[in-house]
Amino acid sequence: MPNYEPHIWNLNDDVKRSHNCYSYFLNLIDKKAFNKCKTKKKCSTAQPGYYKGLSKDIYNFTRKKRSPNGFRYKCKNVLQRIKSANPHIKCNGKTKKNCPKGYYQGAMATTSPKEWNRSDYHFYRKDDNSPKWSHKTGKQEVKTVDAKGNSIFDPSEAARKYARNDYSNFCGYFCIPETKELKNMSSENLI
């Protein structure tokens, strides 16, 4: 299980700006994204589905300006993208369960259909050295508090309405392999 070590994610601005909640959930530092951010000042973050590659049509559709009837991140389509690159991640649904040895707990939420103009997803993880859950909001710092500043003991019960997004749709819990070789991510769509 990962330890809560915010200094790894927070102290270097190039790490902070090239990593997001998804890379934090996976507990992976992307050296390529870090170097691109540091040397070229182009700081892109990992996205579910990029490692296996989203088709050009789907990729372009997800980059479009949002509309009431257009694309929206839903639990099921984000889960498909996670599983395409990370078949070893186990989805526990909305029931919080202990994970088997060699795995740690994670969780995901998405914005509701009412938030179509800011459709997004957000990830959390459970760390070994704390009863709390932690997360990284976009290119901001890692923390153990929710949108209201309260400690997160269960992401399904945490305040998830932030200034920019309201992650009101709780998708569920996951068991994530501790072994880095069993996890994949990319900050570039690989198609």
pLDDT digits (tens, 9 = 90+) for 96-125: 889 999 999 999 999 987 776 778 999 999
Question: Looking at the domain assignment, is residue 188 inside a domain?
Answer: no
Which residues, given as ranges, of the chain have pLDDT below 50?
none
Question: Looking at the domain assignment, is residue 38 inside a domain?
Answer: yes
> What confidence score (pLDDT) does residue 185 get?
96
> What confidence score (pLDDT) does residue 179 get?
96
Total domain count, the chain: 1
Question: Looking at the domain assignment, is residue 139 inside a domain?
Answer: yes
- Show Cβ contacts of residue 74 under 8 Å, excluding neighbours closer than 6 positions: 110
Q: How far apart are CA 157 and CA 128, in angstroms?
A: 20
Question: Looking at the domain assignment, is residue 73 inside a domain?
Answer: yes
pLDDT digits (tens, 9 = 90+) for 21-36: 999 999 999 999 999 9
> What confidence score (pLDDT) does residue 118 get?
79
> What confidence score (pLDDT) does residue 10 get?
96
CB 110 within 8 A of CB 78: yes
> What confidence score (pLDDT) does residue 95 get?
87
This prediction's pTM: 0.93
Question: Looking at the domain assignment, is residue 191 inside a domain?
Answer: no
Instruction: For residue 89, give its domain range.
Output: 6-182
Strands (DSSP E) found in 16-120: 90-93, 103-110
> What confidence score (pLDDT) does residue 45 get?
94
